[in-house]
Amino acid sequence: RFAAVIMRIREPRTTALIFSSGKMVCTGAKSEEQSRLAARKYARVVQKLGFPAKFLDFKIQNMVGSCDVKFPIRLEGLVLTHQQFSSYEPELFPGLIYRMIKPRIVLLIFVSGKVVLTG
């Protein structure tokens, strides 16, 4: 069993995980502003349910983006030229994992040209 309440709102379309510690994780927002607004709305809902919720210490922990470079990428060549930052094991995962240091971002790069960025 997952130890959090899962709550969703339609605008901005987000999902919150609310833990018994009082901490909350809000996912799905398309901007920092949307994320802050959603977190405030969730806190208000929790208050209306009779809990002494406060909106404190809001911070962005992680962001995710994706793109399509519109051409195929030779992952074998990329891992050879960027060995210190890359790991590619196609039998375990179809994408190359590229770990940038500054900024600290992880890219999942696929043969199709699709890229997912997290950090």
- Mean pLDDT for each 10-residue chunk of the chain (119 residues)? 94 97 96 97 96 95 97 98 98 98 97 98
User: Is residue 57 situated within a structural domain?
Assistant: no
Residue 11: which CATH number? 3.30.310.10
Number of structural domains in the chain: 2
Cβ neighbours, 10 Å, residue 99: 14
User: What count of other Cβ atoms lies within 10 Å of the Cβ of residue 32?
Assistant: 12
Domain membership of residue 33 (yes or no) is yes
Strands laid side by side in the 64-68 sheet = 64-68, 114-118, 106-109, 96-99, 86-87
3-state secondary structure of 55: coil
Query: Do 71 and 34 share a structural domain?
Result: no
Same domain, 38 and 75: no
Domain of residue 28, residue span: 4-48
Q: Are residues 37 and 9 in the same domain?
A: yes
